[in-house]
Amino acid sequence: MAARVYDRIGLLQDTQAPIERRAVERLITVGRLREAHAVFELGCGTGALARRLLADVLPEDASYVGGDVSSRMVQLARRRVAPWPQRAQVVDLHGTLPLPRPDRSADRFIAAYVFDLLEPAYTQQVLDDAHRILDEGGLLCVSSLTWGRSPSSRMVANAWMAVWRRAPRLVGGCRPIRISDFLNPTKWQVEENEVIESWGVPSEILVAAPVP
Ligand SMILES: C[S@@+](CC[C@H](N)C(=O)[O-])C[C@H]1O[C@@H](n2cnc3c(N)ncnc32)[C@H](O)[C@@H]1O
Q: What's the pLDDT score for residue 1?
A: 62
Mutate which of 51, 114, 126, 171 for ligand 1? The one with the most ligand atoms within 8 Å of its CB, which is 114
The answer to whether the CB of 41 is under 6 A from ligand 1 is no
In 3D, which of 52, 57, 160, 84 has the Cα closest to residue 116? 160
The answer to whether the CB of 140 is under 6 A from ligand 1 is no
Q: Per 3-state DSSP, what percentage of the chain is helix, strand, and coil (rounded to 5)?
A: 45, 25, 30
- pTM for the complete prediction? 0.94
Q: Which atom of ligand 1 is nearest to the CA of 41?
A: 6
The answer to whether the CB of 113 is under 6 A from ligand 1 is yes
Sequential pLDDT tens for the chain (212 residues)? 688 878 887 777 777 777 788 999 999 999 999 999 999 999 999 999 999 999 999 999 999 999 999 999 999 999 999 999 999 999 999 889 999 999 999 999 999 999 999 999 999 999 999 999 999 999 999 999 998 878 887 887 788 888 888 888 787 788 999 999 999 999 999 999 999 988 888 999 999 999 98
Q: Which atom of ligand 1 is nearest to the CA of 24?
A: 8
- Contact between 93 and 114 (Cβ < 8 Å): no
129-141: pLDDT as tens digits: 999 999 999 999 9
The answer to whether the CB of 13 is under 6 A from ligand 1 is yes
Residues 6 or more apart whose Cβ sits within 8 Å of residue 172: 5, 6, 9, 13, 117
From CA 2, how far away is CA 7, in angstroms rounded?
8
Query: What residue segments make up the domains of the chain, in order of their start?
Result: 2-210
The answer to whether the CB of 76 is under 6 A from ligand 1 is no
CATH of domain 2-210: 3.40.50.150
Q: What's the pLDDT score for residue 109?
A: 98
- Contact between 6 and 45 (Cβ < 8 Å): yes
Q: Is the peptide bond before 98 cis (omega within 30 degrees of 0)?
A: yes
Q: Which atom of ligand 1 is nearest to the CA of 174?
A: 1
